[in-house]
Chain A
């Protein structure tokens, strides 16, 4: 046999290795990419002998793939950031109910699906960040307030294509209705501080951390961002980020009304899962007190369980009233939310 033909051997081996798997395993599709997730999966395998196989995909291709695979899918669980996406998975008929598992009682009702098709594991708040040397905290009150003319060119927030903003606006539609949301959005967009210097258009620039940096640099006064990014900045390897975050303060908006907007990462059980018991065990494991603490500490996310205290840093920001509309309603509004944002000129 010529050596050239031997080249095909590793190829066949790779294909075969894709087919065989250890006896006990559970397959997970996720759009999260944090080291802590993998650490917990490893701990789960150590404890139960069940291996967690992971495909990391962006949420949307992930759902499309699951949809196309239908009953032939090998996925048992989806683990997604953003309640709107979990809701979309449900709407596409990709999930099934966890049934009557005791672990469902560990998490408040508004942080799980009404039909128990998905459940939150961690939580983050969409907070306001300001520089106490520039902005008086008493001028801050609510998200709606940021649409008022006195904040002209003072607001920093990332682009509308980001799901955290879409879910925030979707929640707003639920709370104050579509017409009022539209008015609020127009005011808010007009108040954007960051302009593209070339086109002079209001073009949000950068990610969540960049919004905080804009406040630090005096370009904006208030940034809307996710709580865990602010925590990560304080403990960053990059000294600039630590500088920025330690000179800014956190404000929880809407404490007098419907509460600060929260969003979750959660797991859903796929409709055609062939390892339902293993899948449930993994969810149960992720909701154990130890896992919840590890989750919270590694990533500055709030634990989904109310009886597990958050990271000391988050605790130092104090308790806050959180929006308690059922998060499973967000998905029905998110497409409309995105359209409203674009119509208001939020790039």
Chain B
């Protein structure tokens, strides 16, 4: 009986369905790979591809360096020194995560355009993009490092100090080596965000993978070429993930004692204070203050009809669009993690990895795949039931499924981290008392990991609110989110009219970011 139950349970069932779905999705990319390449492929190889490789690497590398510099230094100072209003700083420093990078791009382009300094500050290029990505993505690094350092034992640093190490030696010899795993994890997140962005790189006309895939598929009308570029990108990402995994293995540390004394913060010396405030102020000025002042500046001139027609509609659609995927991702995460957790096996770990692969795929690739996969199913259903509509691709379902595929990893990683902490003992006790797996999940596990689940849903929502490429391509009739309104108005060279939508999007996302980061710092779930 026990044998039977461990194998055939709701968790296995749900995981099997999800796995089948992801496999079918991935498999359809294989035939185009072996189809004969069209002239577009060769043409793009000559005139386009060298730029793609160079610009993609520069964009990712530059953003990683700059965002790590900002994120690590701020987190280091915040963790080791007594900084006035530290709670407030912790909140403010993560808010830039709430500003979509493309919005920052729209605002700065408009700010520079037409002014006398226009010729001296061209921002629509690679360095400009690196700067803007770093300004919005450094909070990933900051959060990871901050949360990691807050769990480090005082003893180690105290010993170093008593042995005469100064702040600089201590940072490079002790702290930095310790943070490598956390830093690498956060850097992978930043890399994914950069490679997946479409809004900004499209607006700036950069030749990176996301724009190339769109270019080949749409302008060149050549799906095979698009798929070939997608596969290259996927290979690139798998390499990064593999690198991360192997680096993490070699950097694993643990403590000999479970009694961890938290860090004692030092008084902030004048010189350090100067550094801290200038880095924090400069970052926040460009990431937060200038954009928000510009948006507020535009606000009074926005005609009333924008509110009546677009604002509430956009807000409602954004909330709806984020609601279902979040719920589904939470339920799926709980099921799939438990599938692995109750009876761990290496092959189960692999299944889990494949299920989280969606996060590594750019929105463009997922959109192509979803249309290719579901539209034929829709056509079949229309035939069978003799109805005249597209049940899945004509409704919000297609977009919901795509968003689940894309952001599943974000939610499931956080929940898994939380599960890791509570261990198995309560769950096993409940099973031993003849409670079913589902009953155990709802009555025992959920209350124990509720903070992790809430933090995970909030982080997923931050991504969903800002989401652009999937929503643009897969949304149903008459459906516009705040983000798509921004894209539309920016494309029409009237971003000023979209300032209410932009501000609402920032407020909404910032709310989620603040609550989530607060929970993460409190419960330290930001680990792998």
Contacts and interface: CB of A to CB of B under 8 A. Distances in A.
A18 B395 contact: yes
B477 interface: yes
Given A35-B305, A69-B390, A237-B301, 5 more contacts: A53-B478, A60-B219, A63-B218, A196-B122, A198-B127
A136 interface: no
A57 B115 CA distance: 32
Interface in A150-199: 159, 161, 194, 196-199
Interface string B295-312: 000000100010001000
A71 B127 CA distance: 46
A155 to B, nearest CB: 15
B47 A33 contact: no
Contacts of A248: none
A335 B215 CA distance: 11
A216 interface: yes
Contact of B120 (A4, A92, A197, A335): A197
Nearest to A25: B477
Nearest to A11: B324
B118 A219 contact: yes
B488 A33 contact: yes
Interface residues of A, number: 67
Interface in B38-72: 43, 47-48
Contact of A213 (B118, B382, B488): B118
B119 interface: yes
A290 interface: no
B248 to A, nearest CB: 36
A255 interface: no
Contacts of B388: 74, 274
Interface string A116-144: 00000000000000000000000000000
Interface of A: 4, 7, 11, 14-15, 18-19, 21, 27, 33-35, 38, 53-61, 63-65, 68-74, 88, 92, 159, 161, 194, 196-199, 203, 205-210, 213-214, 216-217, 219, 229, 232, 237-238, 240-241, 244, 274, 335, 338-339, 342-343, 347
Interface of B: 43, 47-48, 109, 113-116, 118-120, 122, 124-125, 127, 205, 214-215, 217-221, 301, 305, 309, 320, 324, 327, 367-368, 371-372, 375, 378-379, 382, 387-391, 393-397, 442, 472-473, 475-480, 484, 488, 491-493, 496-497
B252 to A, nearest CB: 38
10 contacts: A18-B395, A19-B394, A55-B477, A58-B218, A69-B378, A71-B379, A74-B389, A206-B109, A210-B113, A217-B114
A346 to B, nearest CB: 11
Contacts of A61: 218, 367, 472-473
A294 B301 CA distance: 23
Given A70-B379, A198-B127, A339 B122 contact: no
A205 to B, nearest CB: 5
A57 B395 contact: no
Contact of B496 (A33, A196, A210, A237): A237
B219 A74 contact: no
Contacts of A207: 493
Given A194-B119, A216-B114, A238-B496, A60 B214 contact: yes
A342 B368 CA distance: 26
A139 B221 CA distance: 40
A209 B394 CA distance: 36
A33 B492 contact: yes
A186 B322 CA distance: 48
B219 A338 contact: yes
A49 to B, nearest CB: 18
A44 to B, nearest CB: 15
A335 B47 contact: no
Contacts of A241: 114
Contacts of B368: 64
Contacts of A57: 472-473
A105 B349 CA distance: 66
Given A7-B327, A15-B396, A18-B396, A72 B492 contact: no
A68 B113 contact: no
A64 B493 contact: no
A161 B484 CA distance: 21
A335 B387 CA distance: 38
B355 to A, nearest CB: 21
A1 B390 CA distance: 32
A197 B375 contact: no
B131 to A, nearest CB: 12
Contact of A229 (B122, B390, B480, B493): B493
A18 to B, nearest CB: 3
Nearest to A27: B477
Contacts of B389: 18-19, 21, 74
B493 A209 contact: yes
Contacts of A7: 327
Given A14-B395, A241-B114, A198 B119 contact: no
Given A60-B214, A194-B119, A199-B125, A213 B114 contact: yes
A205 B217 contact: no
A161 B205 CA distance: 8
B367 A197 contact: no
A339 B43 contact: yes
Contact of A53 (B109, B379, B477): B477
A219 B480 contact: no
Contacts of B479: 55
Contact of B320 (A14, A71, A92, A335): A14
Among all A-B residue pairs, the 4 with the closest Cβ atoms? A60-B218, A18-B395, A213-B114, A72-B379
Contacts of A213: 113-114, 118
Contacts of A217: 114, 116, 118-119
B122 A210 contact: no
Contacts of A58: 218, 472-473
A207 B495 CA distance: 12
A161 B202 CA distance: 10
A69 B389 CA distance: 11
A241 B126 CA distance: 27
